[in-house]
Structure 1
Amino acid sequence: MRTLAASAFFCLVSLLHSPAASAQSLSCGGTLSGVGDSKVSVIQKCGEPISKEFVCVPRPQVAWVLSPYPGGPAQQVVTQQCVPMEDWVYYRGQGNFLGIVRFYNGAIESVRDGEKMR
């Protein structure tokens, strides 16, 4: 029973963290840019964005700290680390939402909607 529960948990975590489960794409002139595409690819498909901004995204980081006592067990510590990323904003036209493309290590990490343009 324990391995069945562990397998179910692993499958659930895999689905939640897969790009297809949470990713959008940016449509530009009939072509799509999505998770994993490079900055060069996005510029070729969509042109230059209306703005670019470097952001610090906090992400949990697990570390192990040795016990100060001889033979004591190591302790697991979770801290927040700043992960540098870049947000590009695209204007999609009057009445549409802005498209925000987040890059990590030169590739699209996520695409989301911004404010609606009036």
Structure 2
Amino acid sequence: MKKLILSLVVAAFALLAGLANAESLRCNGHSAAEGDSRLSVLFKCGEPLLKDNFCAPVYYAQTRHPVPEPIASIFVPCQQVEEWLYDRGPGNLMATVRFRSGVVQSISYGRSPR
């Protein structure tokens, strides 16, 4: 019985730790998070300080190996990635919101753009 309770407690902590990895961005009393659309982030946080977009390489399914260039340019289009930079004011780190396919993929914090 003790082993069952202990394993349930460990499983609960593992689940909570996995949920804690998701970043969010607080702005104007709202919270933007992974999975939000560009329109939602724009509504919640307003215009970013800077915007950048680029074409990211496409990877083979379930691997970290990029599709080679001759094949990628003919058969596999690149994936558009957009990054928005928010200055959160004095004493706060800058926030970079990365969009893939029109939704927030990640939110990271740092002193300056990478």
Check whether TM > 0.5: yes
Question: In the alignment, what sits opposite 2:109?
Answer: 113
Amino acid paired to 1:108 = V
Identity %, equivalent residues:
40
Question: Under a length normalisation based on structure 1, what TM-score does the superposition of the two structures give?
Answer: 0.61
The structure richer in helix per residue is: 2
Q: List, as ranges, runs of 4+ consecutive aligned residues in structure 1 with deviation greater than 2 Å.
A: 55-60, 81-84
Which runs of 5 or more residues in structure 2 are unaligned?
Answer: 1-14, 68-77
Give, in angstroms, the shift of residue 83 of structure 1.
3.6
Which of the two has greater strand per residue?
A: 1
Shift of 1:78: 6.6
Whether 2:87 is the aligned partner of 1:101: answer no
Rate the CA distance shift 1:52–1:78 in 2: closer, same or farther, 3 A: closer
- RMSD across aligned positions (CA): 2.7
1:56-78 deviations in Å (ceiling 9; x for gaps):
44564159xxxxxxxxxxxxx97
CA shift, 1:80, in A, is 1.2
Of structures 1 and 2, the larger Rg is shown by 1
Q: Does residue 37 of the first structure (1) align with residue 33 of the second (2)? A: no
Q: CA offsets, 1:10-66, max 9 Å, x none? A: xxxxx7xx7x35320010012100011111111111100000111344564159xxx
**2:12 is matched with which residue?**
none
Quickly say closer, same or farther: Cα 1:97–1:105, change in 2 above 3 A. Answer: same
Question: What residue is the counterpart of 2:70 in the other structure?
Answer: none
TM-score of the superposition, structure 2-length normalised? 0.63
Count of matched residue positions in the alignment of Structure 1 and Structure 2: 86
Does residue 84 of the first structure (1) align with residue 83 of the second (2)?
Answer: no
What does 1:10-49 align with in structure 2 at a 5 Å threshold? 20-49=19-48
Cα distance in structure 2, aligned partners of 1:26 and 1:78: 28
| Aligned counterpart, 2:60 | 61
3-state SS of the aligned residue for 2:35? coil
After superposition, the Cα gap between the structure-2 partners of 1:115 and 1:56, relative to the gap in structure 1 and judged at 3 Å, is farther
